[in-house]
A and B are shown apart, each in its own frame.
Chain A
Amino acid sequence: MAIFSHRAGAALTQSPIVERPTGLPRFTKGLLKWSFAIGVVPPVALVVGLAVRSLYVVDYVHVLTGASWTGFDIYTGVVLSRVMRSLEIPARVEISKRLTPTTFFIIPSLAAVAITSGIYLAQEMGKFNLGDPWILAAGGIVVVLTVQGFGVFLPNGVRIFLELAKVKPDPALISRLTMRNVRLAGSQAVFQVLIILVMAHLAVY
Chain B
Amino acid sequence: MNSSALVAIAVFAGALLSVFGVLYRMASTSHARGELAYEGIVILRWALLGQLAIFAILALTAFLT
Contact = CB atoms under 8 A, between A and B. Distances in A.
Interface of A: 3-4, 6, 8, 11, 15, 17-18, 20-24, 28, 32, 36, 39-40, 43-44, 46-47, 50-51, 104-105, 108-109, 112-113, 116, 119-120, 123, 146, 150-151, 154-155, 158-159, 161-162, 164-168
Given A11-B38, A20-B34, A40-B57, 11 more contacts: A28-B43, A43-B60, A104-B47, A105-B50, A105-B54, A119-B5, A151-B19, A162-B23, A165-B37, A166-B37, A167-B36
A181 to B, nearest CB: 15
Q: Which of A20, A51, A113, A158 has the most CB of B within 10 A?
A: A158
A8 B5 CA distance: 40
A116 B15 CA distance: 16
A111 to B, nearest CB: 10
Interface of B: 2, 5, 8-9, 12, 15-16, 19-20, 22-23, 26-27, 30-31, 34-40, 42-44, 46-47, 49-51, 53-55, 57-58, 60-61, 64-65
Contacts of B43: 24, 28, 32, 161-162, 165
Contacts, number: 129
